Structure 1
Amino acid sequence: MTAEPSRSVKPLRASDADREAVVEQLREAAAEGRIDLDELDTRLGLALSAKTYAELAPLTEDLVPVAVAAGEPLVLEGGMQGASRSGRWKVPPAIRARGGAGGVRIDFTLADCRWREIELDVRGGMGGVKIVVPQGWTVQTDELSLGLGGLKNKTTGEGFPGAPVLRVTGSCGMGGVVVRHPNFRERRKLRNAQTH
């Protein structure tokens, strides 16, 4: 006997940072002429009073580009020293990560992502590729070749409504690919960054 969905699934609460991200996206959409000022005021009011992700998601669903925009992908070359992208940065719709000997680390936790889908093509090499995604993101690895290093996907199940989908393709190589959510130390650092 299965539990009723209304009892087993609780709405996930939105944080101040979640509301602020939606507000910023709405203001940019108004500046670009995608919504008028009256609609901006209405959506801002709903965003600021939203308590859950389910209330926030519809406010920007029609503003997130579905298709991958033209342009060069972000390329991260691990080389001998390694490469990383973390902190506050703008996520492009396509990323290429080449682990090399030093490895690549990509942290999306504080990143500004306006895309519904991000394509991440990896080549693990010797150093491997480590990926950190916020809670609520969906990570799809069906098209990833495991190679010798294999894949460790430590993310949790289905994503939040309206949250980005990260499609990981390519090969894990010898160094492997690790996908996870922020650990305790990273979550504490994130909380500190949001309060300052």
Structure 2
Amino acid sequence: MQMRVSDEDRERTTQQLQQAFSEGRLNRSELEERLGAALSAKTYGDLLELITDLPAVQPQADGVVELGSKNGNVKRSGDWAVPRRLRVASKYGSVELDFTEAVIPHQVVDVELDLTYGSAKIILPEGAVANVDGFQADWGHPSTKVPSRPRPGVLCVVITGRAKYGGLTVRYPRKRWFTH
């Protein structure tokens, strides 16, 4: 297939690769190699070559991955695949999303928070930016220690939603001091 692909076609393929990674069908190095090839693909043939050994993915409702807990904490850290849109709901627990070691195939990630009695902490890789203008806290407050202005080639996390009795903290990883 020599027909040229669009950015949307590349995005769809990266989502399928990310899903295969989260199911354990691809290891991290395979995912990174295929994501690089998908993002630089020019034709449908280039994209099909990357996914022919994977099962067909059923698209999720509006492409949103939902995480939630009524009584416990929601935590993602280490080597995890970050979706383009993430919706997180927690009634009585906190939320911690650590993006520093995650596989993030998208330049912009939307995170929607729905918190009742808990706070959220989002840790971004050095240099990433976060926009918290769409987040409201009734009793707590959003605190961000990272820039908010989007820049080309830099991860931008857009955080929206609400916390009834909690706040939001967005920061870079803490510096580790080593002594010899």
Contact 2:130–2:147 (Cα < 8 Å) also in 1: no
Give the partner amino acid of 1:30. Answer: A
Per-residue deviation, residues 94-116 of structure 1 (Å, max 9, x unmatched)? 11122321211110000010112
Superposed counterparts of 1:84-163, under 5 Å: 84-156=75-147, 158=149, 161-163=152-154
Q: Which has the higher strand share?
A: 2
Superposition deviation, residue 26 in structure 1:
6.0
Q: Which has the higher helix share?
A: 1
Superposed counterparts of 1:1-196, under 5 Å: 25=32, 28-30=35-37, 34=41, 71=60, 72-156=63-147, 158=149, 161-185=152-176
Superposition deviation, residue 27 in structure 1:
5.2
Secondary structure of 1:183's match?
A: coil
Superposition deviation, residue 74 in structure 1:
2.3
- Gaps in structure 2 of 5+ consecutive residues: 1-27, 44-58
Secondary structure of 2:37's match?
A: helix
Distance 1:99 1:152, change over 3 A: farther
Identity %: 27
Contact 1:101–1:127 (Cα < 8 Å) also in 2: yes
Secondary structure of 1:143's match?
A: strand
Give the partner amino acid of 1:123. Answer: D
- Gaps in structure 1 of 5+ consecutive residues: 1-20, 37-69, 189-196
Structure-2 separation of matches of 1:157 and 1:118? 13
What is the TM-score normalised by the length of structure 1? 0.58
Moved more, 70-79 or 137-146: 70-79
Structure-2 separation of matches of 1:125 and 1:27? 39
Superposition deviation, residue 179 in structure 1:
0.8
Per-residue deviation, residues 126-183 of structure 1 (Å, max 9, x unmatched)? 1111111111111011121232111111224656640121111111321111111111
Root-mean-square deviation (CA, aligned residues, Å) is: 3.0
What is the TM-score normalised by the length of structure 2? 0.63
